[in-house]
A and B are shown apart, each in its own frame.
Chain A
Amino acid sequence: MQINYSSKTLKSNPIWYKLKQNKMTWVGIIILALIVLFSVIVPLFSPFDPNKIDLVNKFQPPSSQHWFGTDEVGRDIFTRILYGARLSLGVGILIIVIAAAIGIVIGTISGYIGGIVDTIIMRFVDMILAFPNLILAMALAAVLGPNLQNAMIAIAIVKIPVYIRLARGEAMLLKEKLFVKSAETFGINKGLIIIKHIIPNAISPVIIQATLDVGDTILLIATLGFLGLGAQPPTPEWGAMISIGWTYLLTYWWYPVFPGLFLFLSSGALNLIGDGIRDVLDPKSAR
């Protein structure tokens, strides 16, 4: 059913319209915005130093002074969570941006060029994907040495193949599209076709996947932190906090629960945003 719209009306922005329709995306955006806002503002005004040891006040339950209580050396958990937010969110996003960028370049080349290049790349990808994410990241982080930077490299390596696969699949579909075929008839070289046609058209599923993956990556960093392979104490990283707090769950429940809650909220929020972006970018969901 085709309806003729004049070109004028199409100037109004459909992306905005679709975003407005999607309430859950807004829930995600608001949660994430609040976490980011707090993590920027609160440390400026907080009377507490995230790393200062105050043994007199250890294991204080939540109160008007220490909103989320204090930990085993008397640090304010609320302050540490918000410092941790800068770290966890920042690192999570950075890892994914790097992994997605590398993945889309390799993936589109692999998918578009095909042949032997594709075979070799895909063998590698299959190899990496054969291991469970976490195990491989753990092994890599352990080999590289336990610190945050190495944990980031390990997670990025684990994440890249997903994007290669995704971008390759898109590239293989796009290769058959008439606009790519017609670019081939002009006689312009393949690299240019990849840059001009394949990457721009393959990018939206990658962005969607990336948004969904940030939450997962934060969890991975946290898990590595939890296992002692990521950020080292006393860095206020969520995973590390949960990992230590875990042992106190029964006696001082607030210690692991609040960092866990923030982890849950931010990865949930990112998933909602990812879903929203998918709806916005997917032309088939157009109303």
Chain B
Amino acid sequence: MVVRWLIKPNMYQDSVKLMKLTAEIQEMEGISQASVVMATDMNKAVLKDAGLLVSEVAEANANDLVIVVAADEEEHAEKALKAAEKLLETFNVEEGKTEKQKLPKTIQRGVEVLPGANLALISVPGTYAAAEAVKALNMGLNVHLFSDNVSLEDEVRLKELGCQKGLLVMGPDCGTAIIDGVPLAFANVVERGKIGIVGASGTGIQEATVLIERLGAGISHAIGTGGRDLSGAVGGRMMLMGIDLLEEDPSTEVILLVSKPAGSQTTPKILERVRKCRKPVVVCILKEDLSGSLSSWAVYAATIEDAAYKAVALANGEEPLTIPANFWGDYSELVSETVRNMRPEQQYLRGLFTGGTLADEAMLVLGNIIGDIYSNIPLKPELRLPSSQQSKAHTIIDLGDDEFTRGRPHPMIDPLPRNERLLQEYKDPEVAVILRDVVTGYGSHPDPAGELARAVMEAREAYPNNNAAVIAFVCGTEGDPQPLSAQVETLEKAGIMVLPSNAEAARVAGRIIKQLESKGV
């Protein structure tokens, strides 16, 4: 063994830095011991115990830096000393070694870091979501609970707590909200305006806000409640709070209530509140015909399109009439031409939706034109598909339903399952029309139109003898991260018919089917 040393007179270095340097030298080939220290009496004592105190080092003083190594051979010792010398000059912690900056872990700490925070947007797995929501409410935060798989019991508990504290509990399973112009979770970027929405349906709210903008008006707030809010157990707690809030809110002049089919237990309670509301209210609870029960104090709308149209009329100080036929345009020529190109066996409609409420609305509109439609979320129980994987006659599928999303992303984010299903439907020679929603906005896929266009081209390539028409509605705006005009252009270039509203898309599809029927006769 050889012991070699180097003394750097009057070179002070911090002891921690030197310990780290020592550790590096110690790792070098052939080095059994190494020490880089200031030659203080204490350090010299340590060196002595380690058998490294040569007389020169013993004479060094506390301001001198000493490097001592014990190595198996001369060459290794020299190498180590040189390396130590070099490290002393250049020694610095490598860049980028610092761990990423720490984010707060708890809601409480989040509030400390962001003073004035007033909303918690919660999207953690359902098992944990209720507990986080309670913490948020106890911290005085409104809650937007995007998570699903929260029990009904927890939903009731959360909303009771919210009511006690005067805080919103939007959700669970609340896909969208727009508060003070801020789109939350899955939401479109829409103009601000006088219409306030309370919605027990994510895509219902999205469609309503998009159509209101398309009709030249704007949104004050869109408050989501989650789809179960109007159930008997929850009792419409958040829809009632939403109405209170919008009634008081100075920027709201017209209130629009939207709900997916809800069961009618809570409707009377909601209507009772609507009757007392000082602002005009449009009520659209899908599948519930309230045309007779609202009389003069509120406006009934059968579809979301109808609701948006009436709300905009009210906001403009006009009579809330039903949307006129051919309001969006005259598509007779388009329909006739499509029908002309079809083969005799083509007769069926297949709708592939990502938004449950959009599927509901399409079925309501189409039901009046073409009759029974099978579905995984049917309007009547007898129309339930035996298997959601296999379409039958006229079929509309909600691919955003739980059975399709368990353990995988929602089809608004991941287009693959829906594209596969499109291929499956296109393959069927009896299919005449494939109806699709294209939902853009924050949260959605960056280019849903591009994905649909690609899927349609692939289908045409795979089955050149088939020629089902593809009809789409883009639930989106120019302000979305995926601008409307570009999405429409992509679709039209691919030969996809793009209609300006979900209901209109359904109507045009229905007219095609109807004309095919009479052609067949």
Pair from one complex: no
Binding site for B on A (CB under 8 A): none
